[in-house]
């Protein structure tokens, strides 16, 4: 019973709870943890966005009602409050973020870390926690299979009083429209296992997010006419300005990876070819933005 109690009373939130999908919109959801011989734990999370030009801030709040088997304590309330900073640049394929936070439970812990994202290729999530007689380091890789499916692989080591504990994690994340779901299988120490997960919904309607809709004005690239022949039916031939900034695409509801791809097309041919590869729904959004940028062409 003492060994079970020591394991159960690990003072920090599970590291997988911090792997909420990145979004530029207001997001909220729930989380859970199940372990053999113990009642399930549950909680909720909330993300609030704030943008100032290309500087993007997001505050993150998390709460867990951690249930245990103990004669003295039946529930531990764990909370976390943090802030993340990202710089949205159009000149780089690497998007770095840094975050800091404060976690409260059995112990007060400082949380800090970095997140590096190569859109549509790989993301690296590295963070640590420190407090009285407690240290933790966690490392996770996010590998996207496509826009809506991703794989997680991670390892975490905890030093708690005189104990050292390793956790290995394998997980999968699924996104659909405004909804996201993530599930993680965790191997803790030599014998214990757990299942954790989170789910959420984000609001990508720009009329409800003043800070996001008031995105910065960036210089537009007016493309020269390309002599390469295109089908006469191509709608892009009606437009002379094809450049759409990352901020405009994010405000229209595009994920960061798609926004990068669209904004980086430097010729009419590349733009047209990539546009044809998008789903009809996303093509409609792009043409709506193009019409705003080409009012004269639209009237002709």
Asked, for residue 264, whether it belongs to a domain, the answer is: yes
Q: Same structural domain for residues 196 and 68?
A: yes
Last residue of a domain, one of 207, 225, 244: 207
Residues 168 and 300: their CA atoms lie apart, in Å, by: 61
Over residues 19-78, the pLDDT tens digits come to 877 677 788 999 999 988 778 899 999 998 887 777 888 899 999 988 776 555 678 889
Q: Is the pLDDT of residue 212 over 70?
A: no
Asked if residues 272 and 290 have their Cβ atoms less than 8 Å apart, the reply is no
Counted domains in the chain? 2
User: What would the pLDDT profile of 110-154 be if each residue is shown by its tens digit?
Assistant: 999 998 887 777 889 999 999 988 999 999 998 887 777 889 999
Burial class (CB in 10 A: 0-12, 13-18, 19+), 9: middle
CA proximity to 260, closest of 141, 88, 122: 88
pLDDT at residue 224 greater than cutoff 50: no
Task: Let me know whether 276 and 228 are in one domain.
Answer: yes
Classify residue 261: in a domain, yes or no: yes
- Of 142 and 220, more confident: 142
Q: Mean pLDDT score of the chain, rounded to an integer?
A: 76
127 with 230, same domain?
A: no
The answer to whether residue 212 sits within a structural domain is: no
Verify that 40 and 158 share a domain, yes or no. yes
Give me the domain span that covers residue 262.
Answer: 217-299
- 14 domain-assigned: yes
CA 263 – CA 265 distance, rounded (Å): 6
Say if residue 202 is in the same domain as residue 281: no
CATH classification of the domain holding 41? 2.40.160.40
Tell me the residue ranges of DSSP E strands in 147-289. 149-160, 163-176, 179-188, 192-203
Cβ pair 155, 167 in contact under 8 A: yes
Per cent of the chain over pLDDT 90 is 27
| Residue 175: pLDDT over 70 | yes
For residues 58 and 92, state if they share a domain: yes
DSSP string, the chain: -HHHHHHHT--S--GGGG-PPP-SSEEEEEEEEEETTEEEEEEEEEEEEEEETTEEEEEEEEEEEEE---SS-SEEEEEEEEEEEEE--SS-S-EEEEEEEEEESSSEEEEEEEEEEETTTEEEEEEEEEETTEEEEEEEEEEEEETTEEEEEEEEEEEETTEEEEEEEEEEEEEETTEEEEEEEEEETTTEEEEEEEEEEEE--GGG-HHHHSPPP-----PPPP-S---TT-GGGG-S-----HHHHHHTT--HHHHHHHHT--SHHHHHHHHHHS-HHHHHHHHHHHHHH-HHHHH-
133 and 282: one domain? Answer: no
Residue 92: per-residue pLDDT:
59
Asked whether residue 260 is assigned to any structural domain, the reply reads: yes
- Given this model, what pLDDT does residue 86 score? 85
Q: Give domain status of residue 142, yes or no.
A: yes
Whether 157 is in a domain gets the answer: yes
Give the separation between CA 6 and CA 2, rounded to whole angstroms: 6
The dihedral through the CA atoms of 228, 231, 234, 237 has a sign that is: positive
Domain shared by 6 and 108, yes or no? yes
Please check whether residues 184 and 289 belong to one and the same domain: no
Same domain, 201 and 221: no
Query: Within this chain, do residues 203 and 223 fall inside the same structural domain, yes or no?
Result: no
Instruction: Please say whether the beta carbons of 267 and 223 come within 8 A.
Output: yes
Same domain as 136, residue 48: yes
């Amino acid at each position: 019973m003492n060994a079970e109690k020591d394991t159960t009373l690990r003072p920090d939130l599970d590291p997988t709870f911090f792997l909420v999908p990145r979004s530029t919109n207001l997001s909220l959801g729930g989380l859970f943890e199940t372990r053999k011989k113990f009642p399930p734990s549950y909680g909720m999370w909330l993300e609030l966005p704030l943008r100032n030009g290309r500087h993007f801030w997001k505050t993150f709040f998390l709460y867990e009602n951690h249930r245990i088997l103990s004669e003295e304590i039946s529930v531990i309330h764990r909370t976390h409050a943090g802030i993340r900073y990202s710089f949205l640049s159009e000149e780089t394929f690497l998007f770095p973020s840094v975050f800091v936070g404060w976690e409260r439970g059995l112990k007060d812990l400082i949380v800090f870390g970095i997140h590096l994202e190569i859109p549509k290729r790989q993301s690296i999530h590295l963070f640590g926690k420190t407090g009285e007689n407690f240290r933790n380091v966690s490392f996770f890789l996010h590998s996207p299979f496509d826009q809506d499916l991703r794989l997680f692989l991670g390892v975490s080591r905890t030093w708690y009083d005189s104990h050292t504990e390793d956790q290995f994690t394998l997980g999968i994340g699924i996104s659909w429209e405004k909804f996201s779901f993530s599930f993680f299988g965790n191997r803790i120490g030599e014998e214990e296992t757990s299942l954790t997960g989170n789910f959420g919904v984000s609001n990508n309607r720009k009329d409800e997010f003043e800070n996001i809709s008031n995105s910065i004005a960036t210089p537009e690239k007016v493309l020269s006419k390309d002599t390469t022949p295109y089908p006469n039916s191509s709608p892009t031939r009606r437009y002379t300005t094809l450049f759409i900034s990352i901020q405009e695409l994010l405000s229209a509801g595009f994920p960061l990876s798609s926004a990068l791809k669209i904004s980086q097309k430097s010729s009419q041919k590349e733009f047209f070819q990539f546009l044809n590869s998008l789903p009809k729904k996303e093509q409609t959004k792009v043409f709506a933005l193009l019409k705003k940028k080409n009012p004269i062409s639209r009237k002709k």
